[in-house]
Amino acid sequence: MDDTPRSFPTRRVMLAAALAAWPAQALAQTRPVVTVLGDSITAGLGLPSNAALPVQLQAQLRKLGANAVVRGAGVSGDTTAGGLARVDFSVQKDTTVCIVALGGNDLLQGLDPKRTKANLDKIVARLRARKIAVVLAGLHPPPVIGKAYAREFQAVFPAVAKAHGAILYPNLLAGVTQVARLNQSDGFHPNAQGVIVIAQGLAPVVARALKTRN
């Protein structure tokens, strides 16, 4: 190992990073962990980090007396196939409840709902096998989508939830979809106020899941 003075700043940086991470790790050890496995909507695309769903959901849970740590595991652009590929390492072993909020990109790409269902089925099955409670967040396709496709896609989520005893949250974007003041300029991703609306809707469901596990 290099013991020259040049190595000291590097060591100090590494030590500082380790010390900074320690309180969060210690906190997670004493409080239940909720992991949000999702895409750009849950990752907070276009928003400052403190406005993203994990932070806002944790705040709403606190208001309900659920003292949980909410951990973000959202990747922009992820389909259900992407979520399936990373579920085992994105959802860490200390997770008590996992919110599975995937499918929006499947919908945008017009993927076969049967593929979406198969992927979600495997994701939820893996989580349940690890004794992690699951809240499966569905989506309601917009009116411009063909009616037959919309019905088939929307039916995926309750079917998967029922098959695995997961908790169904029927529509992640309830109260936000097509409400201009709650969305960013793309009309799809929620703005900071829209995220709060989503967090307020999700929080009671997640709080009940945590209470059941406790």
Res 152 pLDDT > 80 = yes
Q: Does residue 49 share a domain with residue 10?
A: no
Res 143 pLDDT > 80 = no
Q: What element of type H or E holds 38?
A: strand 33-38
CATH code assigned at 122: 3.40.50.1110
Res 49 pLDDT > 70 = yes
Q: Does residue 130 share a domain with residue 39?
A: yes
Res 2 pLDDT > 70 = no
- Are 48 and 60 in contact by the 8 Å Cβ rule? The answer is no
- Are 185 and 41 in contact by the 8 Å Cβ rule? The answer is no
Identity of residue 169? Y
Q: Does residue 110 share a domain with residue 11?
A: no
Please report the pLDDT score of residue 156 as a whole number.
98
Q: Which two tokens stand for residue 124?
A: 């939820």
Mean pLDDT of 112-126: 98
CA 171 and chain centroid, separation: 13
Q: Does residue 82 share a domain with residue 11?
A: no
Give me the count of residues in the chain: 214
Q: Does residue 123 share a domain with residue 113?
A: yes
Domain count, the chain: 2
Catalytic center residues: 40, 186, 189
Q: What is the pLDDT of residues 69-108, one digit of tens each?
A: 999 999 999 999 999 999 999 999 999 999 999 999 999 9
Mean pLDDT of 123-145: 94
